[in-house]
Amino acid sequence: MSGRQPVPVLMYHDVDSDTAGGDPFTIPESELADHLDALVGAGWRTEKITALADKPATEGTVYLTFDDGLTSFARLVMPLLSQRQLSATLFVPTGHIGESAHWHRREAGSPEVMGWAQLRALDPDIVEVGSHGHSHRALDVMSGQRSSEEAVLSRRLLEEGLGRAVTSFAYPYGYHSRAVRAEAKQAGYRVACTVGYAFHQAGSDPFQVRRLRVGPGLSGPGVLRLLAEGQRNRGTMIAVRAARPAWRLLRRSRQGRGGIGSPRSQRELEHARRKW
C-alpha cells in the first residue's frame, strides 16, 4: 500500500449487557457483536496496533482499540473476539489497575479497571496490551518531566507486571503535543494513538495514529459505513478545539498540580506495584 491511504482504527471504551444509562462511552454487547459480525462478513481483517509500525497497513485491515482497560473487556469483549478469531489492542492506565475508572462518571458508579490477574490472563494472541499513561491525566498540560515519567513508568509497570513487551501507547483523552510525542518515542513505544475522529493515513507519523470513535447506537452496517466514509460530523469541532493553545492553557489551569512526580503519585506507583 502506498502512502496517504486511509487506515481505519476504531476506538471503543466500555461494553455492557445493560446500557440503559445512556453513557456515550458504553455500547451494548449486542452492538459490538453486530459490528464484529459485519466486519467479518464484509471480509475485514484485524491486526494489533503495533503491526502498523512493523509493516505497511494492508488494505482491508481494521485496527480495533479499547481504552481504559475496563473489566468489561475481559468479561464481554474477549469472548466475542475469540469466537470470530479477531484481535484488538487494549490501552491500560497503570495507576488505576484494579481500581475505579473515576473519570467515567455515571449515576450507577464508575466502571472498574481490570486487575493484574485479569490482565495477565488475556490471551496475547488475541489482544495486545498497551499503555494509556499512568494517572490517566492529559499529558500535554504536564511538565515535560512528568509526562515523560508517565510514558516510561507505565511501560515499565506493564512489562514487569505482564512479562511481555509493551510497544503501544494511547494518549489520555487523545491530547498530545510535539514534546509528548517525542517522549513516547523516547520511552520505547513504537506506535501511539490519539483520537482525531478521522482515518489514520498509511505512511504518516506512527505517534499520531488517529482513530474513529465508536459510540452507542451504531449498527453493523453503520460500522461498515464509518469505515467507508470516516467520521464527518460529531467530533470534528472537539478535535479542532483541543488543538488550540488557548484551550490547552485552560485545561492546564484546571488540571492543577499533581502528576507522576508528585508525592501522591509516588504513593500510587508503589500501590500499583503491590497489587502484582
> For binding to Zn ion (CB under 5 A), which residues are involved?
67-68
Q: Which amino acid belongs to residue 207?
A: F
Identity of the residue, 67 or 149, whose beta carbon is nearer to Zn ion in the bound complex = 67
CB nearer to Zn ion: pick between 86 and 195: 195
C-alpha cell at 143: 511538565
Q: Report in angstroms how near the CB of residue 42 gets to Zn ion at its nearest.
A: 28
Query: Which CB atom, from 95 or from 220, has the smaller least distance to Zn ion?
Result: 95
CA-closest candidate to residue 207, choices 179, 235, 230, 232? 179
- Taking the complex as a whole, the smallest distance from the CB of residue 68 to Zn ion amounts, in Å, to 5
Closest Cα partner for 71 from 107, 110, 108, 106? Answer: 110
**CA nearest to 97, candidates 157, 177, 148, 13:** 157
CB of 172 to Zn ion, least distance (A): 5
All cell numbers assigned to 125: 494472541
CA distance 60 to 276: 39
Least distance from Zn ion to the Cβ atom of residue 132, Å: 5
Q: How far is the CB of 69 from Zn ion (least distance, A)?
A: 9
Answer positive or negative: Cα dihedral of 169, 172, 177, 183.
negative
In angstroms, give the least distance from the CB of 10 to Zn ion: 15
Residue nearest to Zn ion (CB): 67
Place of cell 475505579: 100
Q: Which is nearer to Zn ion, 222 or 258 (CB)?
A: 258
The residue (of 23 and 67) whose beta carbon lies closer to Zn ion is: 67
Q: Which is nearer to Zn ion, 16 or 68 (CB)?
A: 68
Residue 183 and residue 147 in contact, taking contact as beta carbons nearer than 8 Å: yes
Q: What is the C-alpha separation between 171 and 181, in angstroms, rounded?
A: 9
Spatial contact of 129 and 92, defined as CB atoms under 8 Å apart:
yes
